[in-house]
DNA sequence: TGCAACTGTAACAAATATAATAACAGTAAG
DNA sequence: CTTACTGTTATTATATTTGTTACAGTTGCA
């Protein structure tokens, strides 16, 4: 899995945390620890799916467009990283004269696809608000 | 996830498929479609965990050391790829003066770790023998 | 005993994927 | 009309993954 999912979740949690639920790509990038351009790219994706809206021009930025306790990690995963648990590399060889060589790629495809469904089912149970609460809990344990 | 898990599963299914449950790294590599050296590296790992035993020297190779219907994908995953669903890149920054920046990495760690448990729970339900059966089924649908 | 066919392991090279950065057009506020 | 922002693409740097080579160690067998 690449880290777009992580960045998307972090960005939304950060927005949820802000009183006005708004921040610029620069502020988010600083918080997430990456480049503003990368944030914009991923947020642009989240905008197209309705998670956030954007305001261009001066005083603009990204604005959380839904309720943090309604947005699940499953939705974010689907929006940013669907298919990413399956490795790009596939085993086997269709030209080989062996049932295993010819069909393993397809079977592993099924397996990874079902595995991803399990993952999504788990993410379904966690909202952005939950993650923010976990952050608060983690913070408390430091004090 | 890198593809060591895929290669390990494929190799064991291939061994299970063979009447004598034995094959050399060259035969496996041809079937899997990779380099014999890569197969040896991964099989060496499986040997240390008792999935296979090896015979060096002439007429040697890798031998399935357990019953294919007793070996689950969960065990293979744990042996080869534990921790790999979590991306290496971590968001946040401990030095930042923000609760979210400081704790997201830890929280996402938890989330990915729990997600991986779900994945493993699913893999627990699939054996090498099951995968071989799926291969056979996939083959039938081609005829 | 010596050759041939294997595994075990490490080192290196090539290919690919990921992340960072730069650049610039478009937009809105003031 | 300038400033602060997003949107998007292109490029570069870095990290990861895969392929390949090399060679020592092991075993069977003529
Ligand atoms: S920016 Fe990569 S999936 Fe949206
Ligand atoms: S060879 Fe990579 S985990 Fe075993």
- How far, in Å, is the centroid of ligand 1 from the Cα of A4? 7
- How far, in Å, is the centroid of ligand 2 from the Cα of B4? 7
Kindly state the percentage of chain B with pLDDT values over 70: 99
Parallel, antiparallel, or unpaired: how do β-strands A52-55 and A22-23 relate? unpaired
pLDDT at A1: 64
Arithmetic mean of pLDDT over chain B: 97
CA to C1' distance (Å), from B19 to D19: 30
CA distance, residue B69 to nearest chain A CA (Å) = 17
Mean pLDDT throughout B29-37? 98
A23 in B contact zone (CB under 8 Å): no
Mean pLDDT throughout B68-75? 98
- How far, in Å, is the centroid of ligand 1 from the Cα of A90? 23
| pLDDT tens-place string over residues A19-33 | 999 999 999 999 999
CB-strand contact A35/D, under 7 Å: no
Residues B129/B137, Cβ–Cβ less than 8 Å: no
Provide φ and ψ at B64, rounded to 5°: -60, 125
Q: Where are the domains of chain A?
A: 3-142
Residues A120/A74, Cβ–Cβ less than 8 Å: yes
pLDDT at A8: 98
Tell the CATH topology of B3-142: Arc Repressor Mutant, subunit A (1.10.10)
- Contact between A108 and B10 using a beta-carbon 8 Å cutoff: yes
pTM of the predicted structure, to 2 decimals: 0.95
Q: Nearest-CA neighbor of B80 among B108, B112, B111, B38?
A: B38
pLDDT at B1: 62
B34 in A contact zone (CB under 8 Å): yes
Mean pLDDT throughout B44-66? 97
Nearby residues of A97 by Cβ (< 8 Å), 6 or more positions away: none
Q: What is the mean pLDDT of each run of 10 residues along chain A (143 residues)?
A: 92 98 98 98 98 97 98 98 96 95 98 98 98 98 84
CA to C1' distance (Å), from A100 to D27: 30
Mean pLDDT throughout B5-33? 98
Mean pLDDT throughout B39-53? 98
C-alpha B123 chain-centroid distance: 10
CA to C1' distance (Å), from A93 to C11: 29
pLDDT at A143: 76
């Amino acid at each position: 899995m690449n880290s777009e999912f992580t960045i998307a979740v972090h960005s939304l949690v950060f927005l949820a945390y802000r009183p006005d639920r708004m921040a610029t790509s620069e502020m988010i990038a600083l918080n997430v620890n990456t480049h503003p351009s990368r944030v914009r790219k991923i947020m642009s994706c989240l905008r197209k799916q309705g998670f956030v809206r954007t305001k261009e021009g001066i005083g603009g930025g990204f604005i959380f467009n839904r309720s943090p306790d309604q947005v699940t990690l499953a939705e974010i995963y689907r929006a940013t990283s669907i298919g990413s648990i399956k490795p790009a590399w596939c085993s086997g060889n269709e030209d080989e004269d062996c049932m295993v060589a010819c069909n393993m790629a397809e079977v592993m495809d099924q397996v990874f696809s079902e595995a991803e469904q399990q993952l999504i089912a788990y993410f379904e149970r966690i909202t952005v608000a939950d993650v923010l609460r976990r952050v608060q809990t983690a913070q408390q344990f430091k004090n």
